[in-house]
Amino acid sequence: MAAPIVKGTAAWKYFGDFRDALLAWQVLVLQVAHPVVAAGVRDHSGYTEDPWTRLMRTVASLSIYVYGGKEGAKYEADRLRALHRTFTGTDKGRRYSALDPEAYAWVHATLVKAPVDVQRFFGKPLTASELDEYYAQMCDIGRLLGVREKDLPKTWQEFERYYDETVATFDINPTIETLFETIHMLRRQQARAMMFLIRATLPPDLREKLGLPWTPKDRRTFDRFAQAVRKIGTPIPPAARTAPMRWIGKLNVWFRAHPRAYRLLVRA
C-alpha cells in the first residue's frame, strides 16, 4: 500500500487548499466532457437536481485519501470501486461502465491537475521538485483507487502531454449542455460567477468548442480577480489553507467507523 501523505509534503499543502473550490465546476465540465463519464453521470447522477451534492460527495471522498490516513484511504477506495461497479448502461448502442479504465483514469487526472492549476491561477506555481513530489503522491492515490499502472504517466511532463491530448479529443455533448442549463437555473449572480470561472479556467481550445465567449475585457476582469485571491490566500500558512479539507477528511473517517451515526446524520 502507498505510504500515507504526511504534513508538509506537496499533496498535503496543495490538494486541500481552500482556493481549489474555485475550480470545482471547471473540473466537473472536464470530467463530463469524456463520453463515458458523460453517459454515467447522465444515467446515474442526480447532479441536474442537486449539483452541489455531487461535488460535495467528491470533495468528502477525496479528503479521505489525502488527509484520512492509510486505513481511511483503503476503506474509501474499496467503497468507491464497489459503488462504481453498479454504474453501467448503454450509450449510443454500446455498453459502458463507470470503471472503464480510460474514463476512470481521466476522472482521476482532472483531480490531479486542478490543484496545480489553482496555484498557477491564484497562488504561487509549484516548483519542479514540488511537482515531482505531488505527482508521485497522486499516482500512489490513483493506484489505491484502482487506476491501472499503464494509465498513469510516469512523470509530470508526460502527464501534461496526456492531459492536453485527451482534452483535444473533447467536444460539446448533451451532458455538458444539461450542466450549463442547470447552472443557469441558479440565482443570477451565482450562475454568472460559476460560468465566468468555467470560461476563465477551461483550456482555451475546449472553451471555444463549447461556444463559451472570452473577451479581452473578460481577461482583464479575471486577472484582477486572480490577483486579489493571490494576495489574500498566498500569505496564509498551508496548515490554515488546508484546514477545512483536513477536518472533512478526519470527520469522514470517523463516520466510516461509526456508520449508525452517519445514517442518523443523513436522515436529519
CA atoms within 13 Å, Cβ hemisphere of 107? 23
What sign for the dihedral angle of Cα 116, 118, 120, 126?
A: negative
Residue 78: predicted pLDDT: 72
Alpha-carbon span 197 to 89, nearest angstrom = 32
Top pLDDT among 171 and 80 is at: 171
Asked whether the predicted pLDDT for residue 92 surpasses 70, the reply is no
Residue 38: predicted pLDDT: 87
SS3 3: coil
Alpha-carbon span 3 to 247, nearest angstrom = 20
SS3 97: strand
Alpha-carbon span 209 to 124, nearest angstrom = 29
Alpha-carbon span 202 to 196, nearest angstrom = 10
Residue 100 to residues 30, 232, 257, Cα–Cα distance (Å): 17, 41, 30
> Would you place residue 266 in the very low, low, confident or very high pLDDT band (cuts 50, 70, 90)?
very low
Alpha-carbon span 84 to 76, nearest angstrom = 12
Lowest mean pLDDT among 1-5, 21-25, 98-102: 1-5
Region 207-234 average pLDDT = 98
Lowest mean pLDDT among 124-133, 197-206, 243-252: 243-252
List residues bridging with 91 in a β-sheet: 94
Top pLDDT among 197 and 90 is at: 197
Reported as a single tens digit per residue, the pLDDT across 150-162 is 999 999 999 999 9
Give the highest mean pLDDT range of 13-22, 44-53, 81-90, 200-209.
200-209
Reported as a single tens digit per residue, the pLDDT across 95-128 is 656 568 899 899 899 999 999 999 999 999 999 9
Per-domain boundaries in the chain: 10-267
Alpha-carbon span 137 to 75, nearest angstrom = 18
Instruction: Report yes or no: 118 and 110 within 8 Å, Cβ to Cβ.
Output: no
pTM for this structure?
Answer: 0.86
Residue 264: predicted pLDDT: 54
**Scanning the structure block, which residue is given the C-alpha cell 519542479?**
128
Task: Provide the grid cell at 114.
Answer: 486542478
